[in-house]
Amino acid sequence: MTSTLLTHALVLTSDSNRPRIDDGAVLVRDEVIDAVGTSSELRGMSADRTVDVDGQILLPGFVNTHTHLAGTITRGLVEDVTTGEYLERIWPIEAMGISNGWFGAGERLGIAEHLMAGITTANDMFFDPASALNNAVDMGFRLFAGTVYLDSPGPDNLSPSQRLEEAGSLLAAFGDDTLVQVTDAPHGGYTVGPDQLWSVWNHARDNGLLFHIHAAESPEEDATIRDTYGRRPVEHLGSMGVLDARAILAHAVRLDDSDIDLLAQTGAAVAHCPISNLKTASGVCRVGDMLDRSVRVGLGTDGGTASNDYDMFVVMRAAAILAKNATRSPENFTAEEMVRMATLGGAEALGVGHLIGSIVEAKQADLVVVDTSAPHNVPMFDPFTTLVYQAGRTDVTLTMVQGEILMEGRHLTRVDLDSVVNDAVAAGREITAELSDGSGGRVSPSP
């Protein structure tokens, strides 16, 4: 049994019963939070190691509800295009990446970046999910990932039945893991037809898996689903019967009132990715209307190719500012609400609010420390305001997942960050060389 006592912290718990503890302390035993209180309340408790947080902010780790980790290796490669053109150009490159083995370096770089930025959980969607799950286990990172379903062969060149076989293999390999979770991830209602969508939903239901899908993001998706089925994207998923509390819809930007009612009635959650939506000019998610109807909403960065980095501070700030403007109400979406959305809100959207997302006894010890002594963080009158409107990811000085400190003093403890970065740089050079041969990025996408 190992234990760590974090003392003299400004603890922001994301727990409504005791949201803030000045001069607080948290005792971690093995994987879980064993005690929470003031430093004086926990003074008599012993631990293998005591970390004096020295007045800095201690909060739950951020939960990134939608990303594509492997795509970290191709970020910046296809820019300034529509979502439709983006998919047309990136999928052939991704097919090359799978056959050339570039994506493992992207996954490890993405996980390293998450840990350095105080993100302790991510919900991933990419081909060859076993690779991402293995890298997450190796690096101690809490990852949700599963088979990506498409009607077309896709960059990984698998048939629908081969995809279900892959899902079975993932469950056999990772089904009992307490750190990572297997999901089902149909790409979207415009890339997965009714037959396969229905069989994936049944697979997710039978195995109790999260059903992670892009929905109501781009004009092209909207037009395709309207032309094919005569329905809006979320209406289409509802009519298919694949919306329930296990579903998490990435983006959910293009909605009317009845779509939001449908989310509320079915219990489906939303991964709100404001930076991605702004960069791809998709529109603005109606977060206020969703919260008014008690729809679960978490925050996400989206993948490296869509929004380039994994910075939940920027995401919180963008989400707050966008929602204030969308509702024309500066008093809405307080900084405290945004921190909750980036932590417990994300955990609830992934269906694991009982396990992670807040600092309460018996939950998994996923914690981060944010140093607020830098010039841009002082003076600090309200720590929530400082976190949302001033702090940045390089202010994170400690990241703990499942009771283990994985980053401390801006150094990763389990892996050599330099080698992760060097591998990614080398893969980037290979990609550049391969594309300069003339094939990549200009060949037709898979049918």
Residues in contact with Zn ion by CB under 5 A are 302
Residue 69: CB minimum distance to Zn ion, A: 11
Residue 153: CB minimum distance to Zn ion, A: 20
In DSSP terms, which residues pair with 188 in a beta bridge?
214
How are the residues of the chain apportioned to helix, strand and coil, as percentages rounded to the nearest 5? 40, 20, 35
Q: How far apart are CA 332 and CA 366, in angstroms?
A: 28
By C-beta, is 56 or 277 nearer to Zn ion? 277
Q: Answer yes or no: are the C-beta atoms of 301 and 64 closer than 8 Å.
A: yes
DSSP conformational letter for 17: T
By C-beta, is 277 or 377 nearer to Zn ion? 277
Residue 305: CB minimum distance to Zn ion, A: 9
Give the amino acid at 339: V
By C-beta, is 302 or 337 nearer to Zn ion? 302
By C-beta, is 148 or 335 nearer to Zn ion? 148
Q: How far apart are CA 75 and CA 70, in angstroms?
A: 10
Residue 412: CB minimum distance to Zn ion, A: 26
Distances from the Cα of 25 to the Cα of 41, 75, 381, 383, 438, angstroms: 8, 39, 21, 17, 58
Distances from the Cα of 185 to the Cα of 200, 391, 431, 440, angstroms: 8, 33, 26, 26
Residue 253: CB minimum distance to Zn ion, A: 12
By C-beta, is 156 or 302 nearer to Zn ion? 302
Q: Answer yes or no: are the C-beta atoms of 364 and 402 closer than 8 Å.
A: yes
- Helices (H), strands (E): how many in the chain? 16, 17
Q: How far apart are CA 9 and CA 59, in angstroms?
A: 9
Distances from the Cα of 3 to the Cα of 31, 138, 223, 374, 375, angstroms: 9, 21, 54, 30, 33
Residue 384: CB minimum distance to Zn ion, A: 28
Residue 370: CB partners within 8 Å, gap ≥ 6? 56, 57, 59, 118, 387, 391, 395, 396, 397
Other beta carbons less than 10 A from residue 293's beta carbon:
13
Residue 214: CB minimum distance to Zn ion, A: 5
By C-beta, is 128 or 302 nearer to Zn ion? 302
Other beta carbons less than 10 A from residue 378's beta carbon:
10
Going by DSSP bridges, is the β-strand pair 247-251/20-29 parallel, antiparallel, or unpaired? unpaired
By C-beta, is 57 or 145 nearer to Zn ion? 145
Other beta carbons less than 10 A from residue 431's beta carbon:
20
By C-beta, is 60 or 106 nearer to Zn ion? 106
Residue 250: CB minimum distance to Zn ion, A: 5
Residue 340: CB minimum distance to Zn ion, A: 23
The H or E element that residue 404 is part of is strand 404-408
By C-beta, is 259 or 302 nearer to Zn ion? 302
